[in-house]
Amino acid sequence: MHHRHGAGDRRGCINLTGLDDGQSGIIVSVMGGEMLTKRLADLGITPGKELKLIRKTLFSGPVQVEVAGSKLVIGWGLASKIMVEVK
Amino acid sequence: MRDDNKINIVLAGQGNSGKSTIFNYLTGLHQHIGNWAGKTIEKAEGTLFYRDHMVDVLDLPGIYSLTTVSEEELISRSYIIKQNPDCVINVVDSTNLERSLIFTLQLLELERPVIIALNMTDLAKRKGITVDVKKLQKILNVPVIPTIASRGSGLTRLVDKAIDLKTGKPERTIHKYGKEIEQGIEELSDQLKGIDLPYPLRWIAIKLLEKDSDITARVSELKPRAVESSLRIMEELEEIHGHDSPLVIADERSLLASRITRETVRIAKDRELSLNERLEVLTTHKVTGYLFMILILGGMFLAVFSFGNRLSEWLDSIFSGWHDLWEAAVGTSFWPALGWSAIESVLALIQIAFPYILPFYILLYLLEDWGYIARISFLMDKLMHKMGIHGKACISFIIGLGCNVPGCLSCRIMESKRERFITAVLVTLVPCSAVSVIVFGLVGKYVGLLWALGLYIFATVLIFIVGKISSKLMIGEPVELIMPMPDYKTPNIKTIFSQTWDSLKEFIYIAAPIVIVSGVVIQGINLAGWMPAIASVMSPVTVNWLGLPAVTGILLIFGILRKELILVMLAAYLGTTDFNEVLTSQQMITLAVVSMFYVPCVATISVLWKEYGWKKALVITLAETAFAIVLAGLVKRGLDVFMV
């Protein structure tokens, strides 16, 4: 468990999959193991960064996001661990 | 050549940054370049002579970050240290500067001379992105050279710079972290003084704070006190920042990259969407995306088939008179007959295999170069999860459609051992181009296109079922998909043709000798009159269970070498490519089913052996053979009932 998601309870804070297509948010926290959070950090997904959800797929498939100026595909399960504050 | 005229360069960069293109351009070596992450799996080396210098270039696997604990990363790190290169060329995707910079910052911490190749500046320009090169150079304090690797632009300047760097002594700027981290690094560097490790002290200190297991283990042997201190410092850091020390460092690095990007990159707003951006929307949309996928893959199937058939018929009309000419010239006794079978084998290879493989590779490389394969991964991720793997496996499957060997090798892009193995097993079930030759050239041509299509759908369903079962059998949690999505780019005709040519060349070089030898051996056995004896040994399976002509037993054995041999040898043995004269429709389908799923070819088995050990390779081989025979027998019985 991480201390990181403490901020996740703040108001207006939802997980990434709750964003609509085209909506942006600021990353608040990433809930996950050390390996995962580090891997995400290396791809530029860290708290404080702006993230834009480009599109989702059907049936809780992966989501496509734009963060740190590049496009990434993230599996649904993982996306639901990334908390964002809607802009 | 004098030693100071030798230069040793390592190319490092994240996947899809154009690193391999630069490598190929510099060394002239034809290495497979792909539009997806981590394509360079084994390191590649090449040499170039330039300005009186001998320049050794080493291409490292595409890496996302020097801290992620993947095999490739460890390899790359140790290479940069072991190779002790005169300079590291960091290939950076200028359309993705921020992400690339995270890696660059880590690379700089290794304190080797670095040159940045700011690649794909043409793409950036088209996307309205301008990078202030001078400013970037100033902030990072390393040479930055804009390049367009696909056109070779800026690449000689890179080498010029590398040569200059060797003679000059570059100064270095340390990119500092926050105050508390820097204090920790300083304290640790102090304690690490004199340690017998080939790394910079500051870098070792950072790795300790990042909880790098490899470095921590090595330091605890040499300087256990430093490890103790690092534990205390990390505790303090976690106290202040509220989360794990490796994350504190990763966060700060990521924010630093962000800041540098903000200072150096300008993005023009309100641009018109380019054609590729419009296609992006259509091909990844939750509804149209799937329609496009079906259209694209279906279109590919039809194109390969219709082109293949036409070319095959045309070649047939050319070769048809050759046998008579040969007999008229050299007679019909034993040796001329044996000689003809060698020629016949090659002609059959050209006529049967080549027409289908050629369009297949052209289309495959077209999709790859365009960037479509990553979209398939995106669209198929959910389905792949049902098999306990994720969308990236599609990349291996699609490579496997060409050839199972690179398909199995590409499974290394999967993150965990478990997923790698499941994907590899499934790839061996993917009908490779050699199997497609049988499906198209036999079933498609003589039974009907729908039947051929049906066989592919059958294979897909089967792969899904086997995947589902193996994900239940193999213990472990499935890993989630994280994958960069490369932008579509206008396919480069030259790249596509050169890749197609490379694949065809490999096909001809490897297949032709095997085909000639096997053709002669089979004809020799036949002329010596041993055929019935050998065939009868296998007839309980081939004749009784599968309902095939006895000769197929021998063909299936040769098919282990290369699967298209089954058809090519059948043609050589019969002396005709009109297979409907000797096989019924049911037999064709049964033969195709066995060929699809029985033993992966020798090359694939050896790759499985190398990657997963002989036990697993043997189990897969035997299991698939037994499975294919049982399955084909059942299919035959089904066909007997339904197909009259």
For B391-407, how does the pLDDT look when each residue is reduced to its tens digit (9 = 90+)?
Answer: 888 888 888 887 787 78
Task: Record the tokens describing residue B318, joined without a space.
Answer: 């050319």
- Beta-bridge partners for B130: B266
Q: Averaged over B410-434, what is the pLDDT?
A: 85
- B272 in any annotated domain: no
Asked whether residue B591 carries a pLDDT value surpassing 70, the answer given is yes
**What band does B413 get if pLDDT is binned at 50, 70 and 90?**
confident
The band of B30, judged by pLDDT with boundaries at 50, 70 and 90, is very low
Domain range summary for chain A, segments of one domain joined by +: 3-86
Are B482 and A74 within 8 A, CB to CB?
yes
Could you say which DSSP state residue B487 is in?
P
More confident residue, B297 or B32: B297
pLDDT at B292 (0 to 100): 93
CB contacts, 8 Å: B276 with chain A: none
Pair B79, B202 in one domain: no
Clarify whether residues B297 and B425 are in a common domain.
yes
Are residue B556 and residue B602 in the same domain, yes or no? yes
Residues of B in contact with A8 (CB under 8 A): none
Q: In what order do the strands lie in the sheet with B144-146?
A: B44-50, B53-59, B6-13, B87-93, B114-119, B144-146
What digits encode the pLDDT tens for the residues B567-578?
888 887 777 778
Higher-confidence residue of B554 and B439: namely B439
Q: Quick one: pLDDT at residue B132?
A: 93
Would residue B277 count as lying in a domain?
Answer: no
B305-319, B452-466, B475-489: which is most confident: B452-466
- State in Å, rounded, how far the first CA of chain A is from the last one: 27
Same domain, B518 and B559: yes
Whether A75 and B255 lie within 8 Å, measured CB to CB: no
Statement to judge: residues B163 and B199 lie in one domain:
no
Percent of chain B with pLDDT over 90: 17
Which member of A34, A70, A73 has the closest CB to residue B96?
A70
| B51 domain residue, yes or no | yes
- Structural domain span for residue B77: 3-167
The answer to whether the beta carbons of residues B514 and B506 sit under 8 Å apart is: no
Crossing angle (nearest 10°) for helices B614-642 and B602-612:
140
| Residue B97 at interface with chain A, using a CB cutoff of 8 Å | yes
Domain count, chain B: 3
In a domain, B506, yes or no: yes
- Residue B32: pLDDT above 60? no
Is pLDDT at B304 greater than 70 in this prediction?
A: yes
Phi and psi angles of residue B272, each rounded to the nearest 5 degrees, phi first: -75, 145
CB contact under 8 A, A4 and B97: no
Residue B219: give its domain's CATH number. Answer: 1.10.287.1770
The closest alpha carbon to B64, from B80, B47, B77, belongs to B77
Q: In this structure, which amino acid lies at residue B573?
A: Y
Is residue B278 domain-resident? no
Q: Is B286 on the interface with A (CB under 8 A)?
A: yes
Give the pLDDT score at B33: 43
- Cβ proximity of B343 and B326 under 8 Å: yes
Q: How confident is the model at residue B10 (pLDDT cuts 50, 70, 90)?
A: confident
B65 touches B106 (CB < 8 A): yes
Query: Of residues B29 and B344, which shows the higher confidence score?
Result: B344
CB neighbours of residue B260 within 10 Å = 20
The number of C-beta contacts closer than 8 angstroms across A and B is 139
* Whole-number pLDDT of residue A2: 44
CB B524 within 8 A of CB B338: yes
Q: What is the pTM of this model?
A: 0.73
Residues of A in contact with B67 (CB under 8 A): 38, 42
Residue B280 lies inside a defined structural domain of this protein: no
Q: Which of residues B206, B236, B267 is at a domain's end?
A: B267
Mean pLDDT of chain B: 83
- Note whether B318 and B448 are same-domain residues: yes
- How close B254 gets to chain A, by Cα (Å)? 6
User: Is the CB of B216 inside 8 Å of chain A's CB atoms?
Assistant: no
Span B447-463, mean pLDDT? 92
CB B440 within 8 A of CB B352: no
pLDDT at B67: 40
Query: Is residue B173 situated within a structural domain?
Result: no
Non-local (6+) Cβ contacts of B118 within 8 A are B92, B94, B131, B133, B136, B144, B145, B146, B147
Mean pLDDT by 10 residues, chain A (87 residues): 43 82 88 76 82 86 85 87 86
Which candidate, A59, A14, A58, A42, places its Cα nearest to that of B104? A42
Establish if B456 belongs to a structural domain.
yes
pLDDT recorded at residue B31: 47
What pLDDT sits at residue B440? Answer: 87
B206 and B116 together in one domain? no
Contacts with B247 from chain A: Cβ below 8 Å: 4, 34, 37-38, 41
- CA dist B65 and B378 (Å) reads 22
pLDDT number for residue B410: 75
Q: Specify the DSSP class assigned to residue B153.
A: B
Give the fold, CATH level 3, of A3-86: SH3 type barrels. (2.30.30)
Cα B614 to Cα B605: distance, rounded to the nearest angstrom = 9
